[in-house]
């Protein structure tokens, strides 16, 4: 004879099919998305890891101020590296359709190294053909066959490519963020390269003859090579402008580093959600055991063991989780994988990929959820079934003696009734708090990130001490005459870039030497030797305070500087330090009165670009916010809708449990003559109060958690800006969650209306 317990499982699933269907669908979708994230991530990471060898990616690059002589190249190649010429031209163009100013960097098409992955079309073959980065083309709606202007010349776009040394479009190694909107990389034939009249940049790719075994060895080899290159460049009279090994090149490493951090976040989100759902299952089963106490006592008295009953009540949550994991993983490898891949392609210039099996996806989306669901429900069910069969038959499920109910003040009957309901359902309301907190963390990101980016973009002008900064190679031209400008308000300044080593990244720090009567940077303190102000962005990121000592290093020299912080200057436009120009010339041992740049609120247009190293404008400062907004802005809107649905599901499940637990009381109140509206107010009012309280608590908790997560994200990027949520943003979060509760309230009223009067009479003890 088969155990009758087996027949109860399908009957129970059928009787509560709405609840189980909601949990199943929700868990399936979440597991599917997280599984798709793991699969897409591993597939894309595998393609990225194969890229250096498959496309013969450079191991680093050198850039000189002038063309390197054969003797200089030969001297560098003595260090077991191979040097290859990789010149480029940088051209400013304006797209007529939207007036965007685009900078495009064109390279000669190479056949032996930095081989492009052709995503669409083909590589250029004629002098008027060009292949450009696929991601930039998507952002600017450029397609194969279109014609674009480069240096005033028309070029037909024959292909969209992903370059191994530009998996993210960083224009400069020191940039705080990549820019796939206003920066592009193109490949042309040698004839096409000569066709464009623009400044030539002397860049060389290097390749190790014996590849390093790991990052530690690569760093050691690169450090030794840098010393040899610097020495050789001085020896042969050429100035090195950039030395960037691949492991430090953000254009190469940023995509894989950023994708790696996605998995940890996705795994945590899934685990938290499964814990919340496991508690919902546990509370549901706990209530079921209470309702079926007499049946359980009879079964125990008939010879059924506690283990058999535990296995019976464990079947539903484990079965639902298992089915959700199976179907979710199937969706993860198909539908959701493509969704995540498109998200990655929307942010990074990655090559073609092949889908690979992910054991990590299986463990994190199937094994771990099943273990979490199993353990939580096992503990709760085992604890509930600890009593003797006689106690179950008597429906006496309290281990300790019954205590008198808490005496309430002499309020009106309905007020005391509501208070009693609230006190009796505190465990359920606590789970509501956990669920809303979980949703609010995601809602804080979905609402706060767009607000942060909008705030930064709107206030970028206020964050700058001058709208334009121009860094020069020297203060004199080739004839020895001082480089001057007639731009109104232009002011001489000294600037250089040092490096702060340590932390998540090696941070570039701009050093400013300012004049005593500067109209743009007003610092009136008396400065001692090696005393500085740090920017508010520097202080915000690294928590540098007045009185601290910081160490900064030269990029390409074995030289360090120690500075004492005597103040914080209100400048959020970059990681920077400030000192008087006299101190600057002493610290860096340069001629008194010399300068290497201008700052102005008016655009400086009368200096030959051949003398300019770098120009910093509002667009450069807001680049991080612009790119993040473009890559993630639309997704945040969808994420807000998802959070509303998620909160509605969680609140629906928990309020359903509360109403089911109190069916006897609801039935009894109906017998006493109260109508549906009055009864609904008894149960909905306490729940509404707890939802509002939970929302307020969760809003602060969510904001705190997201601020910490945001700091961790920005610490991996150059530059700094704080996470910002306005009062209107907080109100929006609260309103969104409350809207989901109002939707649930409609179903709760219908559920209360359906409770029959005879329920209380059937269950009279």
Q: CB neighbours (10 Å) of residue 276?
A: 21
Name the residue with tokens 């509760």: 741
DSSP assigned state of 247: G
The answer to whether residue 402 scores a pLDDT higher than 60 is: no
211 pLDDT tier (thresholds 50, 70, 90): confident
Using one digit for the tens of pLDDT, what is the confidence trace for 273-291? Answer: 778 778 777 877 877 788 7
State the pLDDT at residue 160: 95
d(C-alpha 265, C-alpha 637), whole Å: 19
Q: Which is more confident, 149 or 280?
A: 149
State the pLDDT at residue 98: 55
State the pLDDT at residue 75: 92
* Cβ atoms 320, 329 nearer than 8 A: no
State the pLDDT at residue 62: 92
* Cβ atoms 160, 133 nearer than 8 A: yes
Structure tokens at 176: 């705080």
Considering only CA atoms, which of 647, 23, 16, 658 is closest in space to residue 318? 23
Best-predicted range by mean pLDDT among 340-344, 419-423, 638-642?
Answer: 340-344
Rounded percentage of the chain residues whose pLDDT exceeds 70: 92
State the pLDDT at residue 1: 52
Using one digit for the tens of pLDDT, what is the confidence trace for 74-91? Answer: 999 999 999 999 999 988
Contacts of residue 17, Cβ cutoff 8 Å, sequence gap at least 6: none
State the pLDDT at residue 628: 65
Contacts of residue 667, Cβ cutoff 8 Å, sequence gap at least 6: 755, 756, 757, 758, 759, 760, 761
Name the H helices within 548-622.
Answer: 581-587, 618-621
Q: Are strands 183-188 and 101-108 parallel, antiparallel or unpaired?
A: parallel
The answer to whether residue 183 scores a pLDDT higher than 90 is: no
Where is average pLDDT lowest: 119-133, 204-218, 665-679?
665-679
State the pLDDT at residue 400: 56
Taking residues 493-500, what's their average pLDDT? Answer: 88
State the pLDDT at residue 266: 66
> E strands within 37-181?
60-64, 81-85, 88-94, 101-108, 117-121, 129-133, 147-150, 153-162
416 pLDDT tier (thresholds 50, 70, 90): confident
State the pLDDT at residue 214: 78
* Cβ atoms 436, 741 nearer than 8 A: no
Taking residues 417-438, what's their average pLDDT? Answer: 80
State the pLDDT at residue 613: 75
- Exposure of 162 in the CB half-sphere (CA atoms within 13 A): 24
State the pLDDT at residue 405: 61
Output the average pLDDT for the chain: 83
Using one digit for the tens of pLDDT, what is the confidence trace for 25-35? Answer: 888 888 888 88
The answer to whether residue 204 scores a pLDDT higher than 70 is: yes
Using one digit for the tens of pLDDT, what is the confidence trace for 565-592? Answer: 998 988 887 889 999 888 888 888 888 8
State the pLDDT at residue 2: 61
Structure tokens at 385: 């079934």
Using one digit for the tens of pLDDT, what is the confidence trace for 681-713? Answer: 877 888 888 889 988 998 999 889 888 888 877
Rounded percentage of the chain residues whose pLDDT exceeds 90: 16
Encode 361-400 in three state secondary structure.
HHHHHHHHHHHHHHHHHHHHHHHHCCCCHHHHHCCCCCCC
Taking residues 395-411, what's their average pLDDT? Answer: 66
Best-predicted range by mean pLDDT among 152-161, 223-232, 330-339, 732-741?
Answer: 152-161
Taking residues 522-538, what's their average pLDDT? Answer: 85
State the pLDDT at residue 571: 84
| 758-to-293, 663, 671, 763 alpha-carbon distances in Å | 19, 10, 9, 9
pTM of the complete model: 0.69
DSSP assigned state of 726: -
């Amino acid at each position: 004879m088969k155990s009758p317990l087996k027949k109860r499982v399908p009957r129970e699933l059928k009787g509560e099919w709405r609840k189980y269907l909601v949990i199943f669908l929700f868990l399936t979708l979440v597991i599917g998305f997280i599984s798709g994230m793991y699969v897409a991530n591993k597939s894309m990471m595998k393609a990225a890891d194969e890229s250096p060898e498959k496309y013969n990616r450079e191991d680093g690059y050198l850039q000189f101020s002038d063309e390197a002589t054969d003797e200089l190249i030969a001297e560098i190649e003595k260090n077991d590296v191979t040097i290859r010429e990789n010149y480029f031209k940088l051209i400013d163009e304006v797209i007529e359709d939207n007036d965007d100013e685009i900078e495009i960097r064109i390279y000669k098409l190479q056949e032996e190294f930095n081989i492009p992955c052709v995503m669409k079309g083909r590589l250029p073959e004629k002098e008027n053909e060009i292949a450009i980065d696929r991601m930039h083309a998507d952002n600017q709606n450029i397609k194969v066959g279109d014609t674009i202007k480069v240096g005033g010349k028309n070029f037909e776009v024959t292909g969209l490519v992903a370059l191994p040394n530009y998996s993210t479009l960083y224009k400069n190694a020191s940039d705080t963020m990549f820019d796939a909107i206003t920066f592009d990389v193109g490949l042309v034939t040698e004839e096409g390269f000569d066709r464009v009249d623009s400044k030539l940049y002397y860049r060389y790719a290097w390749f190790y003859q014996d590849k390093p075994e790991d990052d530690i060895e690569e760093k050691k080899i690169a450090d030794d090579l840098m010393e040899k290159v610097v020495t050789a460049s001085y020896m042969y009279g050429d100035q090195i402008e950039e030395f960037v090994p691949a492991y430090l090149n953000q254009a190469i490493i940023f995509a894989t580093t950023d994708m790696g951090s996605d998995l940890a976040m996705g795994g945590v989100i899934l685990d938290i959600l499964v814990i919340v759902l496991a508690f919902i299952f546990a509370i549901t089963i706990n209530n079921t055991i209470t309702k079926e106490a007499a049946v359980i006592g009879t079964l125990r008295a008939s010879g059924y063991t506690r283990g058999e009953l535990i296995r019976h009540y464990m079947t539903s949550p484990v079965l639902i989780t298992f089915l959700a994991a199976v179907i979710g993983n199937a969706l993860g490898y198909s539908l959701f994988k493509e969704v995540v891949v498109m998200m990655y392609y929307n942010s990074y210039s990655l090559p073609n990929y092949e889908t690979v099996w992910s054991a990590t996806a299986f463990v994190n989306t199937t094994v771990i959820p099943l273990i979490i669901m199993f353990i939580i429900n096992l503990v709760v069910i085992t604890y509930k079934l600890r009593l003797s069969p006689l106690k179950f038959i008597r429906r006496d499920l309290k281990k300790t003696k019954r205590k008198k109910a808490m005496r309430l003040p002499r309020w009106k009957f309905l007020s005391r009734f509501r208070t009693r309901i609230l006190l009796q359902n505190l465990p359920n309301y606590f789970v509501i708090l956990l669920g809303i907190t979980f949703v609010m963390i995601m809602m804080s990101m979905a609402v706060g990130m767009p607000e942060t980016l909008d705030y930064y973009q709107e206030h970028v002008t206020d964050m700058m001490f001058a709208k334009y900064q121009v860094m020069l190679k020297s203060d004199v031209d080739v004839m020895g005459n001082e480089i001057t400008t007639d731009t109104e308000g232009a002011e001489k300044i000294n600037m250089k870039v040092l490096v702060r080593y340590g932390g998540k990244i090696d941070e570039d720090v701009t050093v400013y030497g300012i004049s005593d009567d500067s109209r743009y940077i007003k610092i009136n303190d008396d400065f001692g030797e090696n005393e500085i102000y740090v920017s508010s962005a520097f202080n915000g990121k690294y928590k540098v305070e007045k009185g601290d000592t910081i160490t900064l290093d030269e990029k390409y020299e074995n030289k360090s500087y120690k500075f004492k912080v005597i103040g914080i200057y209100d400048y959020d436009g970059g990681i920077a330090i400030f000192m008087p120009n006299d101190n600057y010339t002493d610290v860096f041992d340069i001629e008194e009165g010399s300068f290497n740049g201008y700052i102005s609120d008016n655009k400086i247009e009368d200096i030959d670009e051949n003398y300019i190293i770098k120009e910093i404008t509002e667009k450069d400062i807001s680049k991080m916010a612009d790119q993040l907004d473009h890559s993630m802005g639309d997704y945040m809107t969808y994420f807000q809708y998802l959070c509303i649905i998620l909160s509605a599901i969680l609140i629906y499940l928990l309020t359903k449990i509360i109403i089911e637990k109190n069916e006897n009381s609801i039935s009894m109140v109906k017998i006493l003559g109260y109508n549906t509206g009055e009864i609904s107010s008894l149960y909905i009012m306490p729940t509404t109060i707890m939802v509002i309280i939970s929302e307020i608590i969760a809003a602060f908790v969510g904001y705190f958690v997201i601020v910490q997560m945001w700091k961790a994200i920005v610490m991996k990027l150059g530059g700094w800006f704080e996470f910002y949520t306005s009062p209107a943003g907080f109100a929006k979060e609260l309103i969104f969650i409350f809207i989901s509760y109002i939707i649930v309230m409609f179903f709760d009223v219908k559920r209360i209306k359906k409770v029959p009067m005879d329920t209380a009479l059937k269950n009279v003890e």
